[in-house]
Structure formats: C-alpha cells, structure tokens
Amino acid sequence: MTLPIEAITTAAIARALDAATLRHQAIAANIANHGVEGYVPLKVSFAAEFAEQRAGQATGRLDAQAVSAMKAQLTPVLDAQGLPAKVKLDSEMADMAQNAVQYQALARGLSRHLSILASAAGDGKK
C-alpha cells in the first residue's frame, strides 16, 4: 500500500523531531556530567541515516518503508584510543543552541504542512 505524500512528510518530520528531542536529552546529559570522572558522553546519529535512506531510494525520495526504518541512535563519544572523550562544555552549549534552532524549524515546518492540509480540507475557507 502506498501512503499519500502528506503522510510520508508528516512521518519524516515526526522522526526528525524525535531525533532532535533525543539529541537535546543527550546534550543535556553531557553538560550535566561534564566534570564526572568516567562519564561516557553521548551523541545522536540521525542525519547520516536520513541521507542514507534517501540515497538508497531509486528516486532519491523517501517512501513509507524508508521513513519507518529511520531511527535515531544514541552512540558513545570515544577518542582515538577508544576511551570516553572529554566533554567540551562550550561545544556542547553550541550544539544545544543549534539543536534548538533545528527543532524550531522542524516544528514550524510541521505546523505549516498541517495548515496547508487543513486549508485543503476546508476548501481554502477559514
């Protein structure tokens, strides 16, 4: 069964919002534990998987199966020797600010998308 484009768009944005939420939690944990000896910092990988899913499609577009396969993954941040990397507080703060901007853009995009659908469902009337 083929899902309509709006369902795929909504699902892709929802997955990206979930990844941004998880990334925010990981960054917050890294900041909270930056001075704790033995703490293993975390990062979220999602953008690479999103690009990989798109590249794997013959059309370069996502389908329902590709969207459902996308999952944000928490991974440890290790240095070249395989030991937990030191948390760089200034870098984590910058990452948090960037993640907040991305989350806001995704939320705004979802809002606009749903607004367009609502307008279409109402024949353009308010």
Residue 30 confidence (pLDDT): 97
Rounded-to-integer distance, Cα 36 and Cα 42, Å: 14
Given a cut of 90, whether residue 70 has pLDDT beyond it is no
Mean pLDDT within 22-37: 96
Lowest-confidence region among 20-29, 69-78, 81-90:
69-78
Rounded-to-integer distance, Cα 98 and Cα 43, Å: 14
The percent of residues in the chain predicted with pLDDT above 90, rounded, is 52
Rounded-to-integer distance, Cα 96 and Cα 23, Å: 8
First CA to last CA across the chain, in angstroms? 33
Residue 4: pLDDT band (50, 70, 90) is: low
Residue 1 confidence (pLDDT): 45
Over residues 43-63, the pLDDT tens digits come to 998 877 777 766 666 666 667
Given a cut of 90, whether residue 95 has pLDDT beyond it is yes
Average pLDDT value over all residues in the chain: 85
Instruction: Tell me the whole-structure pTM to 2 decimals.
Output: 0.79
Query: Sign of the C-alpha dihedral, residues 40, 41, 42, 43?
Result: negative
